Structure 1
Amino acid sequence: MSKLGDDMLMNVVKLSEFTFLVIQDNTITITNREKQILKQIRVDFDLYPGTSHPNYCYGKPFDFSPQLHQVVRCAGRIYLQYFDSVLELTSELTLKKVAVIPGLTKSTPEAFQGRLFSINNQLYVHNYNGGYNYNGTVYRLVNGVFEAQNIDFTGYFCQFCDKIMLFDYKYDSVYMLNSQLGRKQIKLNFNINTLQNVAFCQGGILVLTSSGCVLVVVIDMITGQVKELDNETWPTIQISDLIEKIQVNYQNQVIWDFNLKVKS
């Protein structure tokens, strides 16, 4: 049985105690603790048509799919965002298109980032297309159709369990959302408009980078704790260290040792 390499474990979602969903480009893999490939599903479009998979941060390979593939649990089901499509992972481990996000323009890279989130067993999307007009609408999925909501959000969402972070570029702020869709601002020492690259987002660990990785910010989505790294420290953090933190989060859901291991 074939096995996954560690370089494919940048976007891992726990399905059960023994099985995991892994996303890499346009392929979804179901794997076990031994990283054996149990099943693979290909989505019918490529994220990087006509190009090789990009490298980032001084040659260190990164899978940019975390912000392209938003994976959300809602009412016992697993949903994924691919471009303007919302897909459901069925019990037969196949993908079913549930709906299309209204008005989301696939031609803008910003539109691929975090448009899907779940709260109170309700699935929501946002169709902000990037740019500086900050227009966009929040929709809630009702009987397979997205209905517009009177909610003033602009930006992208990152979610782990019931923890949801909103990066609002209109107000240059980061918020934690509560179950009533209220917002609590997280105090930061930097301008979030300079950190629009999501290098990693899984298991409650969110890594944002500026252009050229001049600034790297690691956010604990559970506590809101923020750690800033420079471009010399960041490349010494190993993928296996991040995966170890993911496993701790999935086991405890509320505990994460925020001291990332750094090679000397």
Structure 2
Amino acid sequence: MTFPRFVPHLRDLVHNTDALISDIWGVVHNGVTSFPEACEALQTFRHNGGTVVMLTNSPRPTPAVIEQLRDLRVPDDCYDAIVTSGDLTRHDIAARPGEPLYAIGPDRDGPVFHGLDVTFAPLEDARYIVCTGLFDDEVETAEDYREILHAALTRKLPMICANPDIIVERGHKMIYCAGAVAELYRTLGGEVTFYGKPHAPAYERAFALVAEHRGQPVPRERMLAIGDSVRTDLAGANGAGLPCVFITRGIHAAEFAELQEIDAAATQRLFGDTKPPFALMRELRW
């Protein structure tokens, strides 16, 4: 069996690659600051003729994500296009005009609803739930929502999860995301629709944008996925038929900290039943 190996430079992996499908949070920034070498790597790949589509589980629509990236000093020329969970969520909400919904998430995720025919309602009057995150992710966990979720379950309310991530790194702190609340609701017996990685619609949209920018579809074997999450990035890449470059500095950093090479035991411990990545990088750099 071949085990993934640590590779220091992206340039060693992209000789036959036309496009990168790259995660954002954990790869090019940590929610507080950008990673200059990662940005430079994507810029260089594009300068050499490659196409970069950023694929993020952010519950915000693309314009809001672009604004956030600029605030974090991620240059616009790092990417050709962006696909967000928020974009995909908006399509679902738009298909339910005026239908009362109960929103779970912070005010900063408000752009996902902007311009749509939305009626916000208390839980007892809602017909469905949209979860973009936790109301206060600095202190809350999914368990803080158990009572709300039980009440929703008694009314059999379906939930739309606008961010399947369970946890992300913000600076040096791990915070819970919408996926943690949605997974708890699902385990309680609730109906949940997830938008974003690792689910197929997010990748289908990314492939369409790659084809749009290159003027023709690109074979899967000429694309690479880049990400830092086993559950979303690696599983999603596997499901989409893409080789994955796994960045270890993100949410799994502690698990990889002392490893210099990966053997059978480490592969099983780190990736479980998920097909291992094509290659490992401590951080994205050209």
Return the index of the structure with the highest Cα Rg. Answer: 2
TM-score (norm 1): 0.29
TM-score (norm 2): 0.28
Which of the pair is proportionally richer in helix? Answer: 2
Which of the pair is proportionally richer in strand? Answer: 1
